[in-house]
Structure formats: structure tokens, C-alpha cells
Amino acid sequence: MSRDLPKGDIPTLILATLVDGPRHGYAIAREVERISKDALRLREGSLYPALRVLEQDSLVSSEWMTPAGGGPARRVYSITDEGRAELSRRTAEWQSYASFMNAILGQGRTPDEQSA
């Protein structure tokens, strides 16, 4: 089952994929799919606008590169130091949120156990 990503999660996932090194847009989208075992799908209509905003906010930088084997030039994105700091902030925020939700939902308990 594949699902589209909520718009607010896209910048965080882009930053997370760029921690391992520079990537062009198509590679970013495929990496999200690979890591999520195809559960999440990052579409062009969401990816490129998010990349533009991240670049305007100085969280990523980009440059045009021509592949070593030839072919058309591609815009390759890299995470900046500001982007790394923002990813750390977003990760901490997400972990805190997930912790609260798990506590409230009774992580690992069945609905019958929760009502007892």
C-alpha cells in the first residue's frame, strides 16, 4: 500500500534524505519510497515546490551537475548547516509528539486492554 505524504511532512523527509549526501529530486523521491518500503510516495507536484521553499529558507542549497556518464544536467540538492539544525529540531519535536501519542494510545495494548 502506497500513500501520498501530508504536505507538512515533506520538508522534514527531504532534509532527512539529504543527510546522507547530495541528491537530485528524482533520487530524493525514490529514497523516501525505498526507506518506507514503498509505503510513502513523494510526487513531483509536492517535491519541487518543497525544495524551492527549503532553498529559499537556506535549509538546502543546489547546483546543476552533469552525470559522469553524460546525459542532461540535473539540479542536485545538499543540506546546509542550517538545514541540519532544523532537521534536529524537527526530529526532536516529532519524537516528543510520538511519545505523547504512544502514551495516550497505550502503545502495544489492544483496545480491550485499554478499556480495562
**What tens digit of pLDDT does each residue of 22-71 get?**
999 999 999 999 999 998 888 888 899 999 999 999 999 999 998 888 88
Dihedral angle at the C-alpha atoms of 93, 41, 76, 66, nearest 10 degrees? Answer: 170
pTM over the 0.85 mark? no
Query: What is the reported pLDDT for 1?
Result: 45
* Cα–chain center distance at 85: 15
Q: DSSP secondary-structure letter at 36?
A: T
CATH architecture type of domain 3-107: Orthogonal Bundle (1.10)
**Helices and strands in the chain: count of H runs, count of E runs:** 5, 5
Q: How far is CA 7 from CA 46, 48, 61, 105, in A?
A: 7, 12, 21, 24
- The ranges assigned to domains in the chain are 3-107
